[in-house]
Every structure is written in structure tokens, then in C-alpha cells.
Amino acid sequence: MRGLATSVGLLVLALVAPGPCGTATVTDEAASCERPALALEVALGESIQAAVDAHPDGTKFLLAAGVHRLQTVRPKPRNGFYGARDAECRRLSILSGARRLTTFERVDELYVARGQTQQGQVHGVCRAGWERCQRPEDLYIDDLPLRHVASLEELEPGRWYFDYDDDAIYFVDDPEGRVVETSVARVAFSPTAPSVTVNGLVIEKYATPAQMGAIGDQYPQTHWRIEDNEVRLNHGEGINLGSHSVAVRNHVHQNGQLGIGGRGEGIVVEDNEIAHNNYANFLPPWEAGGTKFSWTKGLVVRGNCVHDNLGSGLWTDTDNTDTLYEENVVFRNLGQGIFHEISGDAVIRGNRVGRNGEVGEWLYGTNILISTSHDVEVVGNRVETDAGFGNAIGVIWQERGGDYAATGNRVRENEVTFLGPGGLAGAAADFDPGWVEIFESNVFDGNLYHMSALSQPHFAWKNAERSFASFQAEGMELHGAADTAVVETSWSCDTP
């Protein structure tokens, strides 16, 4: 850990390989398998868009079981799109943005698929060595995305190369008896109308650019309801939400950049599992991981399980006001667990947050972090730092321009466990006058801390790392307590 007055640098990330796709099963007992009685069925192989064009606003469509390939839907107002289910409520209808490849040439030790003319929008900032994360095309073998490299010389098992000038895809892995696909279509549901419902579908393998959603694309419409879907293996974001839209009970996993994003008023994100996102290795401080929201008002993020993302778990960045993070379980994300940045007026309440922040310097890599934001209440959360990395609850203030300030924040009645000798709770700034005002206008009080020895310096205050007694001597935690009753949590989506 560097000194508390040191500015954070760029993060250096370790590769985390995504696991195989989960099964398309709804496990939430609140999920409904019922389909609208008057929905019009769209058979496999038929154009969903033709059905939309042929019927009036408000029509509901039931997509037949099976894989609907290379379809992009431009809804009309109040359209609803529903997937078929079996008797156990498993999702049977898949929208795939990928083309299956079946014809290959051999060139030396390589397999080549020619005639590949797809070239999507190039966008994003990548980790070093992953520069082709900017390209939205992916290659999948048996539902696993391969690493896209920038030259033939870099090819080895698990990697592929797209020669865009020659319209050819190259890879090493033997395709015999395997399913090989490449993403082609940009988006599953375009933002062409308000008040659209997407329910009970599997949406996968769209060549969606970074910061754009397979559902919602770049500029999502208002009043969409995204419910009970599995959204996976899309290159950019899985779901992008606009004002007064809801994402509820979705499984959003293994997308290339981000699980869920959005901006606008009255967005609700509730009871979703958001996991293992950023397989394309975008640079997390730019934007990658579980979720990220900007310019929102009245955002509610409640009851979600957010874990194992290559980046932050839950992230509000830039002018988010009246935000509520409530009763989420957030664990094993590479960056911050819950991260409220250059924003204000938030409540972070009743969450279980642990083992986040494997990568991060200074007071970054924190389970709950308030960054240059004002009037945030952090109350009633349970936080656990890993034995080898990460911080607990922090407030930082950096010079970000405008009126952004880390003032008026209250951290109270939380329970924090430090599993190792490192890890901090407290505040820090790296500029004048922030490093004076931050200690005059933020309060830690009424929290309970567990640590292996009370003398351990787990508290950051006035540019020093302090013991609990020293933290109290500075006027913090006058109603708080610390003990040595360290009990390790077993983290899962069912962590109570």
C-alpha cells in the first residue's frame, strides 16, 4: 500500500478466464413461466422484424423454441417479445447474433474461414496485449469466446485472428466435431420505440460495440422492461437501459465488456445475477465489469448478486443523484465492490460486500468506495476484506473539476471484518484543500470492526494509517467498537 497522499495510477490486471455458459434455467421462484394468451407465434426461421412490421403497436410475440440467428428487432411502441419455456421453466428460445462456420481450409497448421465481410464499430480502451478488444467481432468454439489477437504470429490454441483486409478468420484449434461461430449482427433489440418488454429469452453472441447493449444499443429508449432473460457472450454490454426502464431477474454473464449499463431517470435494476463479465479485457478504469451507470436520477439497484467480474461490481460514475444501492450481494470483483464516483445524494444500505478490490492502489480496491461524491449515507452493510488484498469502506477526494467534492458523507452502523493485517477504512485526499476539508466534513461512527489484533493500523485518517484507538482519538467512531472476533464468510449469491 502506498502512502495515503499518493494519486492512484492505472491498474494492471491479471487474466481471468471465463467459465462455460450456465444453463438457461430460471431459478428464482418469483419468475413466471406464463406467456401472454394472445401472443402471436414467430416460427423458427421466420423474420421477427417482418412480424413486427405486419402488426400494430402493442402486439405481443412468442418466439418459438430454438435458435433465431442473425435477427435484429426494431420494435414498435408497447411490443412484447417472449420466449418459449418447458415444464421446468427453462428458456428455450435463443436470439443469436452469430453465424455458424462449417467450411474451413488448412493453411499450414491453421484453419481458415473465408468470406467473412463483417466489420463492426471499433471502440473502447483495452488492457495491454488485448488491443483487439476494440473490435466487436468474436469467435466462439463450443460456446467459449477465443482471445482475439492482432497478428498471425500470435496464434496458439484458444486464440484467433481476423484478417479484415482479406476477409478471413484464422485459428489453431481443430474444429472437427465442434460448434464454431462468429458474431456478425450488432444488436438484438434496437431502441426504436418506448414501452417494450423482453421476457424469457436467451440473447447471445451479438457483435455489440463497447458501451452499447445487445438490448438497447447506444441510446436506449424509455420504459423498457427486461425480465427473466439470460444475456451472455455479447461483445459490449449485455443490457443498456434508458429512463424509467427495469431489468429484473435476468442472468447477465460473460459479456465482453459490461453486464448492465444505463443513464436517465427512474431506472430499476433488481434481483439479477451479474457475473463473469469483461472476457474481452477492456481496461476496467475506462469502463468494464458488472455494471456502470452515468447521469442517472433516482436509480435503484436492489437485491442483485454481482460477482467475479473483471472490473468493478456496481458503479455509478458522473452526476448520479438520489441513488439507492440496497440488499445486494457483491463479491470477488476485481475492482471496487460498490463504487459511487463524482456524484452525490446516495444511500448504500444493507448490502453484503466482500473479497472485492484485488487490483487497486491507495484507497482504491475498496469494497465500498465514495469517490469525490457528496452526501452519501453508507449504513447497515456487512463488509469483509480478503486476507491478502482490498480495503473496506473508503471516502476519497481528488481534483476532478467542477463542483465535485467529498463532503457530507456518513458511514455508520456497518459491520466490517478484516481477514488479514492489511486493508483500510477511512478517508484520504491527494490535493489542497481537499486533504483538509475531507476530514472536517465526513463522519465514521457506530460501526463495528473485527480484526485479529486491535493494534493493527486499519484506519486511514489525516494522511496516516491508524489503529482503532488512534482513529477514535481523532474524533471518529465515538459510538463504534472493535474486537478480535474474526469469522470468515463463505461467499455466494445466497450469503445471508
Burial group, residue 18, by CB count within 10 angstroms (0-12, 13-18, 19+): buried
Contacts of 7 (CB under 8 A, 6+ apart): 362, 398, 430
Q: What are the tens digits of pLDDT across the range 368-383?
A: 999 999 999 999 999 9
Q: Quick one: pLDDT at residue 494?
A: 95
pLDDT bin (cut points 50, 70, 90) of residue 402 is: confident
Does position 7 have pLDDT exceeding 80, yes or no?
Answer: no
CB-CB neighbours of 52 under 10 Å: 22
Helices (H), 18-92: 48-53
CB-CB neighbours of 86 under 10 Å: 11
Q: Could you tell me the CA-to-CA distances from 63 to 35, 200, 484 in Å, in that order?
A: 11, 10, 57
pLDDT bin (cut points 50, 70, 90) of residue 3 is: very low
Q: For the whole model, what pTM was predicted?
A: 0.93
Q: Would you call 468 helix, strand, or coil by DSSP?
A: helix
Q: Quick one: pLDDT at residue 424?
A: 98
Residue 239, C-alpha cell as written in the block = 443490457
Q: Quick one: pLDDT at residue 37?
A: 87
Alpha-carbon span 389 to 108, nearest angstrom: 46
Q: Quick one: pLDDT at residue 33?
A: 84
Burial group, residue 432, by CB count within 10 angstroms (0-12, 13-18, 19+): exposed
Walk me through the domains of the chain, giving residue ranges and CATH numbers: 100-183 (no CATH), 197-483 (2.160.20.10)
Mean pLDDT of 360-364: 93
Mean pLDDT of 396-419: 95
Does position 326 have pLDDT exceeding 90, yes or no?
Answer: yes
Q: Quick one: pLDDT at residue 364?
A: 96
Q: Could you tell me the CA-to-CA distances from 238 to 73, 94, 289, 406 in Å, in that order?
A: 15, 14, 11, 32
Could you tell me if 241 and 267 are in contact, meaning their C-beta atoms sit under 8 angstroms apart? yes
How open is the CA angle 240-245-248, to the nearest 5 degrees?
85
Q: What are the tens digits of pLDDT across the range 26-76?
A: 334 345 688 888 899 999 999 999 999 999 999 999 999 999 999 999 999
* Minimum mean pLDDT range among 73-77, 411-415, 492-496: 492-496
Q: What is the mean pLDDT of the chain?
A: 93
Q: What are the tens digits of pLDDT across the range 191-250?
A: 999 999 999 999 999 999 999 999 999 999 999 999 999 999 999 999 999 999 999 999
* More reliable by pLDDT, 267 or 495: 267
Does position 386 have pLDDT exceeding 70, yes or no?
Answer: yes
Mean pLDDT of 352-362: 95
Q: Quick one: pLDDT at residue 132?
A: 98
Q: What are the tens digits of pLDDT across the range 12-35?
A: 333 333 333 333 333 343 456 888
Does position 2 have pLDDT exceeding 50, yes or no?
Answer: no
Q: What are the tens digits of pLDDT across the range 273-323?
A: 999 999 999 999 999 999 999 999 999 999 999 999 999 999 999 999 999
Contacts of 363 (CB under 8 A, 6+ apart): 4, 369, 391, 394, 395, 396, 424, 426, 427, 428, 460
Contacts of 108 (CB under 8 A, 6+ apart): none
- Of 182, 184, 218, 185, nearest to 72 by C-alpha is 185
